[in-house]
Amino acid sequence: MTVPCRTQNFICVLFFCFLDVENIINISQFLRNMLSKKKLVIDFYTRMMNKMYSIFGDMPFIKQYWPFILTGFLCYLSTRIFYSKYASQDKKKDIINSTYQTPDEIAEISENNSDDTQNDENEECDDDYQPSLPSDLEHIPLNYDRISIDETIDRSNEFYNFMNLRRTVRHFSQEDVPIEVIRNIIRTAGTAPSGAHTEPWTYVVVHNMEIKKQIREIIEAEEEINYKKRMGKQWTTDLKPLKTNWIKEYLTDAPYLILLFKQLFSFKNGVKRMHYYNEISVCLSAGLLMTAVHYAGLVSLTSTPLNCGPALRTLLNRPSNEKLVLLLPVGYPAEKCLVPDLQRKDLSEYTIEML
């Protein structure tokens, strides 16, 4: 049977459409896998060739024009290879520009890109890996005291009422706070859960006025550009009711500045330790820190100094595997401290109950 010329053309077009970037990558990965299993490859190749011959044997168009089709395909392939080479160079640039991805980020399938391929590492032998925690880590009984349901209800209510009093403060008293209090607050923050118990946080506590002044200089200079040029009209308009700007007296008024860095990875006994979910872990720790500050009768501000991370990291001598996440001034509120009269959303506005 002879396949019509138009159908053969259609098959060629389909073939090229099918070979988009992802498919080229998939095919090359597939070929690499196959090469590691030579016998399978030979079998597969023989079967493919027989199949191709039986298909194309009945297609005079393809039979006649195969050199053009092949040339077209090779041109297509070299363009793709050229493209992916540049894409991988861009990727390297991204790493240098610190868009370093941890294994959890690599493993995550984005919402609009369903991908069931496994992380390449999974194909390696299990013996190549050693856990960061001891492999014979003991599991012990939970230290837990059960309280009555009435007490649970009372405590949850009391704690909510207490936490509801927490306010973000931008006007600090210069009154000092014992370092012991700050240490206990950070100890509390250190009880946060973290990815694979990697505890990927570094808390830098600054009390020294000279360093606080330098931090303020760096932040005010950068925030002035942020507010005037980078943040945009909508953002600065949204911030107007909160009366924030690039002048940040709290950076020298508050007795303590706590700078929280996320550690992307670390080294333990010369072995690199991956810090999974490091940003989430650090944010959980920050939540506990804020709670502990409030419980200790102090106030804080969870500030995110935009574009100041590298300069502050350098000033504070932190290594390049650490990135600044938050800066919190901590202390007592100024005597005539004002806060914006904000209302919190009602529970029903941000909760969906499926009871």
The encoded tokens of residue 79 equal: 């363009």
In angstroms, what is the minimal distance from the CB of 242 to ligand IYR? Answer: 6
Residue 179 lies near ligand IYR (rule: CB under 6 A): no
Q: Does the footprint of ligand IYR cover residue 307 (CB under 6 A)?
A: no
The answer to whether residue 239 forms part of the interface with ligand IYR (CB under 6 A) is yes
Q: Is 50 in the site for ligand IYR (CB under 6 A)?
A: no
Cα dihedral 241, 237, 260, 248, rounded to 10, equals -70
Is 296 an interacting residue with respect to ligand IYR (CB under 6 A)? no
Site for ligand IYR in 186-225 (CB under 6 A): 223
Nearest to ligand IYR of 199, 222 (CB atom): 222
Give every CB contact of residue 162 below 8 A, 6+ residues apart in sequence.
294, 295
Sequence-separated (6 or more) residues with CB below 8 Å from residue 17: none
Q: Compute how many residues bind ligand IYR; rule: CB under 6 A.
A: 6
Residue 2 vs 234, nearer CB to ligand IYR = 234
Give whole-number Cα distances, 233 to 219, 220, 318, 329, in Å. Answer: 20, 19, 34, 27
Nearer to ligand IYR, 223 or 253 (CB): 223
Residues from 219 through 238 that contact ligand IYR (CB under 6 A): 223
Which tokens belong to 279?
A: 């940003």
Q: CB nearest ligand IYR: which residue?
A: 244
Contacts of residue 136, defined as CB under 8 A and 6 or more positions apart, other chains included, come to none
Backbone angles phi, psi at 23, to 5 degrees: -70, -35
- Among 8, 263, 303, 321, contact with ligand IYR (rule: CB under 6 A): 303
Residue pair 261/313 in contact (Cβ under 8 Å)? The answer is: yes
**244 forms part of the interface with ligand IYR (CB under 6 A):** yes
By CB under 6 A, tell whether 306 contacts ligand IYR.
Answer: yes
Interface with ligand IYR (CB under 6 A): 223, 239, 244, 303-304, 306
